[in-house]
């Protein structure tokens, strides 16, 4: 029988490929586990009854996605438009308005609005009415809001869009914001509320099996090469 040339090198290459493929499979598997856990948490939290602001403790993260009831007033002089938001194929923004409860300030995401005729023209905003109002919304962590440059509403009479460097700078708010679901004043209910993310586990488990299959193919191929030598 003819001795196989570069046998050790071929085996090392096959071993490296198998290790890489198994690592990729483990990585995809863990991503699938993490995503399933997150989806389960979102679903469970969103179904719990609303809590009040004074029930929140320092560990706000434990309350993310849960409903909260707040009583205060909207500040129409402090609004932000988050770019690159789509609804049913149309480009637009999410309108955030500052909500004041005594000395506490919280950003409230009032949902999607359609973009204006051009990039420099303000869209038609959802109207903000003066006075106290009670709102119900979902708690979201402030860290999920975009940082840096994004469109904000200037405070001039025309309310033209301006590009600012972090329009939230200088406004001391809580460590969370709220996705508005409903308001006691029906006029301020969101036209297109922020929806929960799609609770799908994605293709991670299938990808994990795929990488394991690839590792098996490498082992099988290496055996065939060795037999044919």
> In whole angstroms, how far apart are CA 208 and each of 63, 151, 154, 163, 215?
32, 40, 49, 43, 11
* Structural domain includes residue 41: no
Q: Parallel, antiparallel, or unpaired for β 176-183 and 104-114? A: parallel
Q: Has residue 229 been placed in a domain?
A: no
CATH at 96:
2.40.50
* Domain count for the chain: 1
pLDDT tens, residue by residue, 148-173: 555 555 545 455 555 554 556 667 78
Whole-number pLDDT of residue 32: 94
The pLDDT value recorded for residue 227 is: 76
Residue 88 falls inside a structural domain: yes
Give residue 167's pLDDT: 58
Q: Say if CB 107 and CB 93 are below 8 A apart.
A: no
Q: Provide φ and ψ at 139, rounded to 5°.
A: -75, 130
**Are 10 and 222 spatial neighbours (Cβ–Cβ below 8 Å)?**
yes
Instruction: Output the pLDDT for position 53.
Output: 86
Q: Is residue 223 part of a domain?
A: no
Q: In the block, which residue shows the tokens 């999410």?
A: 94
Residues of the chain with pLDDT under 70: 1-3, 119-120, 146-170, 229
Q: What own/partner pairs with CB < 8 Å and gap ≥ 24 does 25-31 have?
A: 25/207, 25/208, 25/209, 25/210, 25/211, 25/212, 25/215, 26/208, 28/204, 28/205, 28/207, 28/208, 28/211, 29/204, 29/205, 29/208, 31/202, 31/204
Q: Is there a domain that residue 159 lies in?
A: yes
How do residues 175-214 score in pLDDT, each as one tens digit?
889 999 999 999 999 999 988 888 888 899 999 999 999 9
pLDDT given for residue 118 in this prediction: 72
Residue 42 in any domain: the answer is no
**How crowded is residue 48: how many other Cβ atoms within 10 Å of its Cβ?**
11
- 183 is in which domain, residue-wise? 50-188
Q: What pLDDT score does 157 carry?
A: 44
Q: Is residue 205 in a domain?
A: no
Residue 18 within any structural domain of the chain: no
């Amino acid at each position: 029988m003819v001795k196989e040339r570069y046998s050790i090198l071929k085996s090392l290459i096959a071993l490296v490929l198998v290790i890489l493929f198994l690592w990729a499979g483990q990585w995809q598997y863990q991503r699938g586990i993490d995503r399933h856990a997150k989806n389960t948490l979102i679903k469970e939290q969103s179904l719990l009854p609303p809590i009040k602001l004074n029930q929140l403790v320092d560990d706000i993260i434990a309350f993310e996605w849960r409903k909260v009831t707040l009583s205060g007033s909207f500040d129409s002089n402090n609004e932000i438009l988050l770019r690159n938001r789509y609804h049913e194929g149309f480009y637009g923004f999410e309108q955030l308005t500052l909500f004041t409860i005594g000395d506490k300030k919280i950003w409230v995401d009032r949902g999607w609005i359609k973009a204006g005729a051009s990039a420099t023209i303000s869209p038609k905003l959802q109207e903000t009415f003066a006075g106290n109002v009670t709102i119900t919304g979902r708690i979201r962590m402030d860290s999920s809001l975009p940082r840096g440059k994004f469109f904000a509403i200037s405070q001039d009479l025309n309310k033209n869009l301006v590009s600012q460097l972090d329009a939230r700078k200088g406004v001391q708010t809580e460590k969370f914001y709220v996705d508005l679901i409903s308001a006691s004043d029906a006029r301020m209910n969101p036209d297109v509320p922020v929806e929960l993310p799609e609770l799908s586990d994605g293709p991670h488990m299938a990808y994990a099996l795929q990488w394991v299959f690839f590792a098996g193919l490498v082992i099988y191929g290496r055996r065939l090469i060795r037999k044919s030598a």
